[in-house]
């Protein structure tokens, strides 16, 4: 959220901790060896995922003979009684029913070796001249209804597969014609009734759809072979179009025949995963038995069969490539194990230990039958119960112990290269309800699962028909995607830890670009995460249950009831098909919706609103309606909390006479009990977050779902993002290649503030809460919404949507110098008496490439931006179109405590820190604080070349929001900021030297820009304490007064690790400056990189006098922790830390597998009573 700052006493107020991740673009910089800039193209996917190892997913498709059985699905309707078969003509259930299809298509019945035509009326013969019979509607029959045998021109009939069960009602429909008057004719050379599909047909269609939807994974394909699996396609990148085509072609070629060697197939797939490294020793930990070691080839003895041309894994090209790589088998079966006893390793046969008791498996082969009859009924031909044992072993054993995770952090578990299994029981009640299948699913270590008879079955899904099979496949792969490569950002619902405090955690997953938003309760005593429904607390957020998760609630809701809005270029309106068809949407948005590769504009719009009926056919598959949440951190908005004076230019009345009520009066109208008047305000707490589904989302932020917590209340679709271009615009979200591509949309964190304005639609002065957002890399533009009233309604869309300000040569719509809106805005009262949005022009503008500051007057923008004075643009004059510069997020400062903005500080991509003086009442006099003649000058240059106009010499870009505070013994303000960027592909490997600076504003209009030579350096060193990496710092005192020579204006900390940079916001609490550094990496399994959590005395840039964090990790913050200023963050690039009370929260990744986490650690923050102004309290965040 945005802020205006006012002076506070030295006792610092904890910042209202709402997240911002300020990672920005521009030109690549370098300090020790500058190179020409060749990459100024903004990324369209997060850089972190380049270091994630794509998971291995082996599909095992049932190719047994029983897959030839047909599925009683559409066009059959089970709710219809097709025929009332007379008892005199009814066939009993004692014999199997087989279909026979003559070459001309006429169909008759083989009933236990006797042949009949179908018919329901006695007398005469049927269509092939045979006696007529029909079936008991309510009875159940064993039948084979697909004629796989018989060549073209000859009769077709079933031959080599096991039968399935069907109702008499289905058989009457299947054998009769459309009117049920006589037997049916399937058509010449047909093998099945028109419209009917075999299990195999459905499995192949569903598998093909699944492969089409998959991305960011290595996918392989196998089927049953002879006592083992057969590899049809080895594991390879599914985003490679040729491999995806090969997968689909191989799926198409699968035919049904043979038995169901489930355990044998899994055992041989285990060998596939270890092949090439099968001579190494692995450790077995069977249940109820002693651990033992053996070579991998002695445990997984049987090698799979390979289709011609398929490569056997080798030591140089193994199946498991990285120590952080997740491995999965997704197996579809329509039958229980058959001919499945050839498991050579004795331990593997009973790995779960359930046959250790005397007589527990008296028939051998791990079979759990109590009687001979039960054994014969359940295990059919040479079956076994080895399946769950083999699946358990694959999940338990580290298959590649040679792949060390390299993590030396104490007490950190090593990653294990095991296999997680998902089982899908399909189209047969016996397999769907089989205990062995359910046990195998549970043994496989999967996190997701289905239900059987109302009971949750981890790792085991069931499907009776085509749609259920598609859902089962999608559920399994969605569960896989949730375990791989998600990251998080956070926000809190209060600025202090108390009862009812909670944390909002936003995550994204790159598999199908979905997002999640969790709300976790916090324990008010400890700051630990509190389990929903119990008193359990934990430092590990993954071990507690959330209060709610928004995407699951949104997916369960009726999308037709969603309140989604947009802007047509002049006013707000509902984002609906009705407005599209009435030509009310903007021309550019309509063109966008019509530009999709498939589907109509109406269908595209409905997809964006949440219609999922065309997914997998016309449009791409989504895991959720909620898109990925990457750089937009959640922002909590409750009742008004700011503090504005009741003096001009603010409203002054204590009773709102003439609609000029003071801010204090307005705040008093909220939650008054009993109501003081009918004018009292009430609104729901909200959490606002942008997602790359093209929308800003507003969710109810109540803690409990019973209070509508997690419900989507509104959504907004910015018009300026619209584009009919390829691989951009809203239509791209529907396209099949999006899952392997991606684009940013509403990717910026919003700003929120209370303002007193007059709106054209109402014409009444009033306090309103407004929200301003951008898109970061999603587009060049800003939008402003009135969120005062949470009862959003399509009828007040124009009242709710205030304006958009876009990059445009049409001045009524915006300004051509606006770049991609990486700059986060600040909402302030200005000296001109007008409320305004202060924002940098962002990056890669379409104008002259110079860094510029915009001050947009909120009320003036409501009727367009074409009038003189609607906005102010302050030009730094630095930048060009060859190497475009851009102004980053500004910090607005109030110098005299009147809550009106006086100065603005902001950095640019060339490494300049700018100061802008906006203290005059005449906005025409607002300008750079410093100048050389008429040319603006920066306050500080990170390098001597930062004004050269050559971006190859702009070595230290400033891409974060500066922090401003007062230091005792100095005049003016001191500005704190770090350098570095992380938004173009080259940033991952860039090793330029970066630093963190504290620079005092010299306050002289024509002073030459300050440089690093005006600052006192600090020196970082690294060591370990109790095995944990930490940092110390040293340096001399800053000579603020110049008593020993030249006056110094601050300090700086050069980073000491190659590529280390500061790309998140900093904060000051008590006398401590908190900032985090990032060290990016593209190396697989390094989760995007690492970083440091830094804590220094903000005045000196040295170690605080007292211990702040638990450096030696002994659970106590004491004298043993003094003098340390940095804690190593091994779990990925650290986000901006959020401090709530004495608790610090930092999101990252749990280990090298890149699963998101929210780290929590305790702080010791000293309070001080020293008088004097320290800094600027953030009234809104």
**Count, residues in the chain:** 1181
Kindly list the distances between the CA atom of residue 646 and the CA atoms of 264, 643, 649, 651, 681, in Å, as whole numbers in the listed order.
80, 10, 9, 6, 20
Question: With bands split at pLDDT 50, 70 and 90, how would you rate the model's confidence at 684?
Answer: very high
pLDDT at 356: 75
The set of residues, in sequence order, having a beta carbon less than 8 Å from that of 941 and lying 6+ positions away, is 911, 912, 913, 947, 1009, 1010, 1011
3-class secondary-structure state, position 934? coil
Sheet strands (E) in 238-372: 281-284, 292-295, 305-306, 327-333
Residue 1064 lies in a domain: yes
Number of domains the chain contains:
3
Indicate whether 937 pLDDT > 70: yes
Domain that holds residue 1135: 5-35+489-496+502-555+628-638+683-1178
Last residue of a domain, one of 196, 219, 245: 196
Contact 914, 940 (CB under 8 A): no
Within this chain, do residues 634 and 774 fall inside the same structural domain, yes or no? yes
Indicate whether 594 pLDDT > 50: yes
pLDDT at 795: 80
Within this chain, do residues 153 and 277 fall inside the same structural domain, yes or no? no
Residue 13 DSSP symbol? P
CA 1164 to chain centroid, in Å, comes to 33
> pLDDT tens across 102-113, in order?
999 999 999 999
Instruction: Report the percent of the chain where pLDDT is more than 90.
Output: 73
Indicate whether 195 pLDDT > 70: yes
Question: With bands split at pLDDT 50, 70 and 90, how would you rate the model's confidence at 762?
Answer: low
Please provide residue 758's backbone torsions phi and psi, each rounded to the nearest 5 degrees: -110, 125
| 741: exposed, middle or buried (Cβ count in 10 Å: 0-12, 13-18, 19+) | middle
Tokens of 204: 């192949």
> pLDDT tens across 306-350, in order?
999 999 999 999 999 998 899 999 999 999 999 999 999 999 999
Within this chain, do residues 1013 and 1090 fall inside the same structural domain, yes or no? yes
> pLDDT tens across 559-587, in order?
999 999 999 999 999 999 999 999 999 99
Question: With bands split at pLDDT 50, 70 and 90, how would you rate the model's confidence at 9?
Answer: very low
Within this chain, do residues 152 and 257 fall inside the same structural domain, yes or no? no
Tokens of 538: 């934990």
Residue 154 lies in a domain: yes
Within this chain, do residues 243 and 96 fall inside the same structural domain, yes or no? no
What stretch of H or E contains 591?
helix 587-593
Within this chain, do residues 929 and 833 fall inside the same structural domain, yes or no? yes
The span from the CA of 586 to the CA of 565, in Å, is 13
The span from the CA of 208 to the CA of 194, in Å, is 22
Residue 687 lies in a domain: yes
Contact 1151, 324 (CB under 8 A): yes
Of 282-291, 369-378, 1076-1085, the poorest mean pLDDT is in: 369-378
Which has more confidence, 383 or 441?
A: 441
pLDDT at 1174: 29
Residue 1049 lies in a domain: yes
Last residue of a domain, one of 126, 161, 196: 196
Contact 772, 837 (CB under 8 A): yes
Question: With bands split at pLDDT 50, 70 and 90, how would you rate the model's confidence at 21?
Answer: very low
CATH number (domain holding residue 432): 3.40.50.410
First-residue to last-residue Cα distance in the chain: 4
Q: What is the full DSSP assignment across 850-890?
A: EEEEEEEETTTTBTBS-STTSEEEEEEEEE-SSS---B---
pLDDT at 760: 73
> pLDDT tens across 383-422, in order?
899 999 999 999 999 999 998 765 555 444 456 899 999 9
> pLDDT tens across 86-101, in order?
999 999 999 999 999 9
Q: What's the whole-number mean pLDDT along residues 1055-1060? A: 96
Question: With bands split at pLDDT 50, 70 and 90, how would you rate the model's confidence at 655?
Answer: confident
pLDDT at 33: 27
CA 1144 to chain centroid, in Å, comes to 23
CA torsion, points 1111, 1116, 1119, 1120, in degrees to nearest 10?
Answer: -50
Phi-psi label, residue 1070: left if phi above 0, alpha if psi -120 to 50, beta otherwise = left
Residue 560 lies in a domain: no
Question: With bands split at pLDDT 50, 70 and 90, how would you rate the model's confidence at 37?
Answer: very low
Q: String of b and e for 1146-1162 (b: at least 16 CB within 10 Å)?
A: bbbbbbbbbbbbbbbbb
The answer, yes or no, to whether the previous bond of 546 is cis (omega within 30 of 0) is no
Residue 153: count of CB within 10 angstroms of its CB: 8
Within this chain, do residues 1143 and 1019 fall inside the same structural domain, yes or no? yes
Tokens of 500: 């009812």
3-class secondary-structure state, position 641? coil
Contact 20, 1136 (CB under 8 A): yes
Candidates 696, 847, 858; CA nearest to 780 is 847
Within this chain, do residues 1142 and 1116 fall inside the same structural domain, yes or no? yes
305-306 vs 5-7, strand pairing mode: unpaired
Within this chain, do residues 1131 and 1165 fall inside the same structural domain, yes or no? yes
Tokens of 806: 């876009």
Within this chain, do residues 835 and 804 fall inside the same structural domain, yes or no? yes
Within this chain, do residues 805 and 767 fall inside the same structural domain, yes or no? yes
pLDDT at 1149: 66
Within this chain, do residues 470 and 514 fall inside the same structural domain, yes or no? no
Contact 125, 131 (CB under 8 A): yes
Residue 144 lies in a domain: yes
Max Cα–Cα distance, the chain, nearest Å:
122
Last residue of a domain, one of 130, 162, 196: 196
Q: String of b and e for 513-552 (b: at least 16 CB within 10 Å)?
A: bbbbbbbbbbbeebbbbbbbeeeebeeebeebbbbbbbbe
Residue 216 lies in a domain: yes
The answer, yes or no, to whether the previous bond of 649 is cis (omega within 30 of 0) is yes
pLDDT at 1156: 66
Residue 598 lies in a domain: no
What stretch of H or E contains 1160?
strand 1156-1162
């Amino acid at each position: 959220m945005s802020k205006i700052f006012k002076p506070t006493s030295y006792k610092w107020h904890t910042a209202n901790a709402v997240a911002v991740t300020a990672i920005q673009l521009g030109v690549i910089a370098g300090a020790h060896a500058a190179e020409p800039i060749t990459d100024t193209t903004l990324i369209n996917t997060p850089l972190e995922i380049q270091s994630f190892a794509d998971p291995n997913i082996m599909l095992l498709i049932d190719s047994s003979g029983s897959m030839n059985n047909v599925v009683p699905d559409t066009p059959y309707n089970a709710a219809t009684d097709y025929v009332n078969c007379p008892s005199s003509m009814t066939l009993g259930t004692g014999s199997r029913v087989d279909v026979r299809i003559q070459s001309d298509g006429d169909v008759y019945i083989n009933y236990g070796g006797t042949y009949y035509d179908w018919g329901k009326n006695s007398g005469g013969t049927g269509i092939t001249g045979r006696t007529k019979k029909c079936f008991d509607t309510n009875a159940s029959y064993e039948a084979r209804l697909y004629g796989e045998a018989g060549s073209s021109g000859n009769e077709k009939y079933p031959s080599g597969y096991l039968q399935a069960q069907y109702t008499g009602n289905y058989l009457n429909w299947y054998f009769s014609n459309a009117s049920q008057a006589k037997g049916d004719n399937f058509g010449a050379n047909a093998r099945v009734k028109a419209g009917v599909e075999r299990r195999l047909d459905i499995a192949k269609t569903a598998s093909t759809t699944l492969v089409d939807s998959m991305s960011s994974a290595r996918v392989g394909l196998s089927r049953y072979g002879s006592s083992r699996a057969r590899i049809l396609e080895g594991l390879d990148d599914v985003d490679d179009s040729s491999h995806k085509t090969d997968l689909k072609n191989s799926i198409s070629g699968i035919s049904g025949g043979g038995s169901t060697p489930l355990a044998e197939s899994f055992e041989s797939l285990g060998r596939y995963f270890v092949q090439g490294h099968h001579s190494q020793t692995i450790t077995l930990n069977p249940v109820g038995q002693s651990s033992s070691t053996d070579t991998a080839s002695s445990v997984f003895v049987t090698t799979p069969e390979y289709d011609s041309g398929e490569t056997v894994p080798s030591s140089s090209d193994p199946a498991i490539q990285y120590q952080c790589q997740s491995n999965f088998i997704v197996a579809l079966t329509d039958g229980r194990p058959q001919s499945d006893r050839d498991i050579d390793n004795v331990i593997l046969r009973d790995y779960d230990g359930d046959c250790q008791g005397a007589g527990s498996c008296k028939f051998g082969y791990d079979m759990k039958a109590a009687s001979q009859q039960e054994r014969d009924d359940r295990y059919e031909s040479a079956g076994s119960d080895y399946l769950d044992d083999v699946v358990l072993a694959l999940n338990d054993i580290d298959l590649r112990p040679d792949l060390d995770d390299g993590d030396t952090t104490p007490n950190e578990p090593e990653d294990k290269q095991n296999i997680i299994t998902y089982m899908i029981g399909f189209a047969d009640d016996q397999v769907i309800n089989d205990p062995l299948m359910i046990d195998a699913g549970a043994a496989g270590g999967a996190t997701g699962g289905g239900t059987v008879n109302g009971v949750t079955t981890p790792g085991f899904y069931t499907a009776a028909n085509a749609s259920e099979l598609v859902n089962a496949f999608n559920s399994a792969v969605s569960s896989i995607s949730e375990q791989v490569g998600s990251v998080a950002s956070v926000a809190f619902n209060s600025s202090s830890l108390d009862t009812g405090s909670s944390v909002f955690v936003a995550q994204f997953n790159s598999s199908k670009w979905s997002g999640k938003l969790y709300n976790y309760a916090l324990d008010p005593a400890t700051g630990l995460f509190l389990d929903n429904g119990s008193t359990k607390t934990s430092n590990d957020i993954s071990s507690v249950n959330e209060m709610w998760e928004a995407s699951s609630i949104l997916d369960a809701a009726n999308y037709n009831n969603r309140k989604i809005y947009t802007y047509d270029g002049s006013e707000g309106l509902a984002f609906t098909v009705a407005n599209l068809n009435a030509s009310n949407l903007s021309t550019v948005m309509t063109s966008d919706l019509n530009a999709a590769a498939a589907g109509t504009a109406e269908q595209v719009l409905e997809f964006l609103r949440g219609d999922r009926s065309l997914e997998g056919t016309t449009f791409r598959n989504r895991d959720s309606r909620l898109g990925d949440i990457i750089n937009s951190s959640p922002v909590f908005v409750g009742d008004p909390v700011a503090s504005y004076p009741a003096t001009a230019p603010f409203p002054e009345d204590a009773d709102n006479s003439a609609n000029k009520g003071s801010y204090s009066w307005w705040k008093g109208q909220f939650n008054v009990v009993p109501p003081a008047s009918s004018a009292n305000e009430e609104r729901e707490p909200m959490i606002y977050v942008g997602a790359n589904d093209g929308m800003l989302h507003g969710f109810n932020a109540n803690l409990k779902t019973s209070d509508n917590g997690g419900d989507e209340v509104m959504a907004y679709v910015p018009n300026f993002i619209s584009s009919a271009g390829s691989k951009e615009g809203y239509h791209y979200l529907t396209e099949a290649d999006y899952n392997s591509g991606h684009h940013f949309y509403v990717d910026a964190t919003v700003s929120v503030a209370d303002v007193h304005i007059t709106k054209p639609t109402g014409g009444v002065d009033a306090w309103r809460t407004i929200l301003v957002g951008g898109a970061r890399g999603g587009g060049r533009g800003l939008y402003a919404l009135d969120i005062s009233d949470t009862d959003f309604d399509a009828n007040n869309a124009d009242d709710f949507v205030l304006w958009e300000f876009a990059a445009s040569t049409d001045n009524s719509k915006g300004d051509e110098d606006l770049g991609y809106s990486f700059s986060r805005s600040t909402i302030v009262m200005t000296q001109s008496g007008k409320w305004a949005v202060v924002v940098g022009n962002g990056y890669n503008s379409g104008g002259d490439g110079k860094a510029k500051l915009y001050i947009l007057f909120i009320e003036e923008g409501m009727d367009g931006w074409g009038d003189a004075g609607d906005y102010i643009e302050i030009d730094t004059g630095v930048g060009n179109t060859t190497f475009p510069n851009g102004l980053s997020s500004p910090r607005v400062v109030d110098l005299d405590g009147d809550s009106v903005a006086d100065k603005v500080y902001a950095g640019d991509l060339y490494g300049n820190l700018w100061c802008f003086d906006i203290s005059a009442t005449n906005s025409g006099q607002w300008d750079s604080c410093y100048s050389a003649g008429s040319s603006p000058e920066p306050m500080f240059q990170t390098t001597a070349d930062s004004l050269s106009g050559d971006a190859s010499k702009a070595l230290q870009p400033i891409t974060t929001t500066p922090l401003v505070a007062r230091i005792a013994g100095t005049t003016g303000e001191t500005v704190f900021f770090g350098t570095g960027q992380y938004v173009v592909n080259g940033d991952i490997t860039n090793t330029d030297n970066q630093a963190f600076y504290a620079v005092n504003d010299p306050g002289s209009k024509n002073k030459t820009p300050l440089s690093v030579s005006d600052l006192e350096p600090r020196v970082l060193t690294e060591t370990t304490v109790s095995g944990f990496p930490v940092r110390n710092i040293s340096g001399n005192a800053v000579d603020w007064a110049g008593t020993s020579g030249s006056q110094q204006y601050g300090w700086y900390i050069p980073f000491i690790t190659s590529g280390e940079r500061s790309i998140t916001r900093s904060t000051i609490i008590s006398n401590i400056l908190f900032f985090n550094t990032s060290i990016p990496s593209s190396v697989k399994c390094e989760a995007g990189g690492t970083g440091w959590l830094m804590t220094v005395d903000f005045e000196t840039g040295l170690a605080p006098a007292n211990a702040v964090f638990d450096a030696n990790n002994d659970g106590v913050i004491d004298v043993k922790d003094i003098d340390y200023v940095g804690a190593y963050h091994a779990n990925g690039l650290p986000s901006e830390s959020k401090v709530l009370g004495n608790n610090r929260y930092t999101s990252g990744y749990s280990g090298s597998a890149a699963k998101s986490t929210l780290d929590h650690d305790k702080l010791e923050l000293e309070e001080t009573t020293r008088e004097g102004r320290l800094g600027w309290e953030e009234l809104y965040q």
